Amino acid sequence: MAPGKNIYFASDFHLGLKAGTDPLVREKHVVKWLGSIEDKAQSIYLVGDVFDFWWEYNKVVPKGFTRFLGKISELTDSGIDVHFFTGNHDMWVGSYLRDECGMIIHTREMILELDGKKLYIAHGEGLGLNDKGYSILLWIFRNRLLRSLYSALHPSIGIGFGHRWSSHSRLAKNYYSEFKGVENEPLFIHAAQVLEKEEIDYFIFGHRHIPLDNPIGEKSRILILGNWFNAPVYAEWNGSGLRMNSFPYH
């Protein structure tokens, strides 16, 4: 890693979500955070559910997010690597974010080696979860044929329906559900399974919406990056360790 530079991790902005903070306020706050770290950032990892819903047609992309996408393009133009992990709300990305905004797209988990440490990064949907219904739902969402059929809908219908589904599915759940304990949290279960096969120093997840930094195993830690519609947090790697920071609304 370059001297004086850091690497940043954040997730679950849920841009466009009409719950919690106002969507425009949230987008401006994300842009403010990106501006606050740009002088020190070598890389930025956005670990899923950046958008509350995103669907690309060949010649149409969702309305809005111009402040965020403009800032991302500015960062990548300046040489900062910005990595975008697809989440369960924005897994339907095409080439736009890569070609127009310069982001590096990841559609599954990855292991990043930094300064002799291994970081396991994933959004987290479906990991460690023994739920056949949810597994079937993810298969439907990821199926190329079904995605092609959905793309045949007019954008006003397809994107409109997607936003309504996303809002209702999110509002039907408890945003601020409590931590269920190591033995009952799917991401902790998944991390423990990975540790049985490979040594990992840090696990970095989104998805769960609860900011956590907990030990797991004998010498590993698991970080969950919370959400930005309630209490924004991010993680920062400074070359020797990983720590969680808050970026509160004022």
Q: Across-strand partners of 216? A: 220
Domains and CATH numbers, the chain: 6-246 (3.60.21.10)
For 185, the token pair is 């949290």
84 pLDDT higher than 50:
yes
Q: Give the pLDDT band of residue 171 (cuts 50, 70, 90).
A: very low
Instruction: State which H helix or E strand residue 202 sits in.
Output: strand 202-205
For 241, the token pair is 């360790």
168 pLDDT higher than 60:
no
The CB density around residue 165, as the number of other CB atoms within 10 Å, is: 12
**Sign of the dihedral through C-alpha 69, 49, 29, 236:** negative
174 pLDDT higher than 80:
no
Q: Give the pLDDT band of residue 175 (cuts 50, 70, 90).
A: very low
Nearest to 26 by CA among 227, 205, 208, 180: 227
pLDDT of residue 54: 84
Per-chain mean pLDDT for the chain: 87
Answer yes or no: are the C-beta atoms of 203 and 120 closer than 8 Å: yes
Polymer length in residues for the chain: 250
In this structure, of 61-75, 106-120, 122-136, 222-236, the range with the lowest mean pLDDT score is 122-136
Q: Under DSSP, is residue 169 helix (H, G, I), strand (E, B) or coil? A: helix
Helices (H) and strands (E) in the chain, counts: 7, 11
pLDDT of residue 156: 67
18 pLDDT higher than 80:
yes
Pairing of strands 41-46, 6-10: parallel
Share of the chain above pLDDT 90, in %: 58
